Structure 1
């Protein structure tokens, strides 16, 4: 998803407020929930962007979505809806999460494996790969891929570390064919 300049500005404003009130972790948790809900249900986005629905109805929906969130996060979403930027909510959330992660030295990682990773394996992957990308730790999303023969594939930002059997076989094949 491309991030607009407006999404970055809103995220930075929220992040600065979070820092000012020492609430970065709390807002991060709330923003992650909002992003999950918005990304998980396309109908909510359509309703918030619908020109036929009144602003009061849209803000009532935002109130429902943010019933357990802080006033600041709720007000941000209402402001985005009011300024007809509901389509930017996910991008604002994504940018805020990025800013919060940068401050805490955390990177988001997607780990593809043949089976769910145990807590110990996740900790080991986090320890090993966080150093490779210059971070303190990783937030790991584990995706089970039955098409993998074995090993792991780790995606951190735009970097991919392929330790799968298929990846190793492909590298071996390439090495053997270039030496002929």
Structure 2
């Protein structure tokens, strides 16, 4: 899990994100790195075999790192991003790669003055819902907002949104809990 407080990424994800951001900025490849890291995150989400390889604790790190490097090179991914993935693998943090990618996205957004909103929902948001949510947050004075989406089937419906230190909870689960407490109070 990426710890995002007041638009700052902390912990392990923060350290990796700060290092990659500084190196990309120094090399003048910041925009390209942000795009490629985001694409890598989408690839991991969409490819079940790749996600399984990364998540498996029995994966041979040396072979997985080499295979990932070759696959990323074939896709035209920059040397910087390939080295980042290689360092993650060499440090035995391959299982944390999705979290580190998410952390880098949040770190880069914060550095660029974008607000980061963590949206947790029971079902994946559609493009229309995403656009509406971003527009409503912009109207509320948050300016440019970068959404980090999480799924939690236990919420039943609705969504939970955290932006900065504010939490908005419109989930069905929280509504049912409030109703339960009010009924207990009436008895």
Asked if these proteins are the same fold (TM beyond 0.5), I'd say yes
With the length of structure 1 as denominator, give the TM-score of the two structures.
0.64
Number of equivalent positions: 172
Query: Match of 1:77?
Result: 85
**Aligned-partner Cα distance in 1 for 2:171–2:24:** 40
Q: Unmatched 5+ residue regions in structure 1?
A: none
2:13·2:100 contact (CA, 8 Å) conserved in 1?
yes
Q: Return the alpha-carbon distance in structure 1 between the equivalents of residues 130 and 2 of structure 2.
A: 29
Cross-structure match for 1:137:
145
Taking the TM superposition and a 5 Å limit, the aligned residue runs for 1:2-41 are 7-38=13-44, 40=48, 41=51
Aligned to 2:52: 42
The answer as to whether partners of 2:120 and 2:159 remain within 8 angstroms in 1 is yes
Gaps (5+ residues) in structure 2? 4-9
Cα distance in structure 2, aligned partners of 1:141 and 1:114: 10
- Counterpart pick for 2:71 among 65, 82, 85: 65
> In the TM superposition, what whole-angstrom CA distance separates every residue of 1:13-67 from its partner, at most 9, and x where no partner exists?
110122234433322222233334446522244388426xxx3x34431223313
Question: 1:110 is matched with which residue?
Answer: 119
Q: TM-score normalised to the size of structure 2?
A: 0.62
* Counterpart in the other structure of 1:162: 169
> Are the equivalent residues in 2 in contact too, given 1:18–1:24 (CA < 8 A)?
yes
How far, CA to CA, are the matches of 2:111 and 2:57 in structure 1? 34
Partner residue in 1 for 2:105: 97
Give the CA RMSD over aligned residues. 4.2
CA contact (8 A) 2:17 2:103 kept: yes
